[in-house]
Amino acid sequence: MTTDRADVPGGLAGAVDWDLAARTGVRLSRPGPNTSRLFAEAVVGELAEASVRAEGPVREVTGLADGLPVPAARVVDRAGWIRAAAESMANLTGDADRPDSQAGAGLLGGRPAGLQAGAMLAFLSSAILGQYDPFTGEHGTLLLVAPNVVAVERALRVPRSDFRLWVCLHEVTHRVQFSAAPWIAGYMRENVATVGAGGDEPIADLVGRLVSVARQRRSGAEQAPEERGLIGLLRATQSEPQRAALDRLLMLGTLLEGHADHVMDAAGPAVVPSVARIRSAFEQRRNRQANSLQRLVRALLGMDAKMAQYVRGKAFVDAVVGRVGMAEFNAVWTGPDALPRVDEIEDHEKWIARVLG
């Protein structure tokens, strides 16, 4: 069963003015690295070509999407990514199909939340290398953010062509995942709708619960990735059905990111000569401490939890594939019941026993 975008109930739907978010994000975003026009055009062309070259190795490693079309990627700048991300979020939450008369009917009202979302998109626009959007276009849309790829390859001082293909291996894996398992998009919409249900709760009640949770966390105890940042606060203040839906989304994200990292490492040595050097430099960059403000923003947005998704998800995929092989692992794409649960992402034997018998 899938949920049509127009049927996504209140709460998240209508809560954000995504047009305003896009305009705000573009206005607040920082410019990319300085390059000549000729260099920028060459980067765009090479990234587009690399996204096609990556498809073969990814399909070979995963055993997925054989015979399906290979849509062209969209190579964008930061402003282009912000506009595309805002459109994707509007499609995911149902705002794209809501009449203008219903705009702003959600928890925070359209404009204030739109301004906040725009600021978040502006911050993220300098960090995103690529993204697969399953909610726009006939076959979804693969986005590659050229200025960010250039900025990172310069910072890492790695071979340009190798790094660009390496990035594409990860992002193309996401396209292959959704192409091979088209039910995932509907599954995401259903769970987003559940998370957003009940969004008409009085602000005073919500703030009171947030304060209570914050007090409980003053002890500084170690938290699981899904308990950190805004996601953690959101989860702690929700009803049980909402928490369960958010957990399902988090486990899906952990699987998708971990699988993409696994495939990138499995396919990389054959097609990216400097893959070991790139992986080492990239991991050092991921783990490097940012300044105090950046650490605060990363914590609030849950970006550290996002990094943990790569680690936990890849460990799960590595373990299952090492134990039963990729063909058996691919049962994970057959439907929602085959996805790993919260207690299985850390214990792959539980998933194998339940799904593969």
Segment 145-150 shows an average pLDDT of: 98
Using a pLDDT cut of 70, give the percent of the chain over it: 73
Per the rule left: phi > 0, alpha: psi between -120 and 50, beta: everything else, 201 is beta
Handedness of CA 111, 192, 175, 227 (dihedral sign): positive
Mean pLDDT calculated for residue range 171-196: 92
Across the chain, what does the average pLDDT equal?
82
For position 349, what pLDDT does the model report?
A: 97
Please give the pLDDT value at position 305: 54
Task: Render pLDDT for 239-280 as a digit per residue (tens, 0 to 9).
Answer: 788 889 888 988 999 999 999 999 999 999 999 999 999 999
CB 48 within 8 A of CB 72: yes
pLDDT score recorded for residue 307: 60
Higher pLDDT, 223 or 245: 245
Ranking 16-20, 210-214, 268-272, 294-298 by mean pLDDT, the lowest is 210-214
CB atoms within 10 A of CB 219: 6
Segment 131-155 shows an average pLDDT of 93
What pLDDT does 209 receive? 43
Poorest-confidence range of 143-157, 282-296, 331-345? 282-296
What pLDDT is stored for residue 291 in this prediction?
52
pLDDT at 7 over 60: no
The pLDDT of residue 6 is 34
For residue 125, the model assigns a pLDDT of: 94
Which is more confident, 61 or 221? Answer: 61
Residue 78: pLDDT band (50, 70, 90) is very high
> Residue 283: which pLDDT band, with cuts at 50, 70 and 90?
confident
Check whether 86 has a pLDDT greater than 50: yes
Rg of the chain on CA atoms, in Å: 20
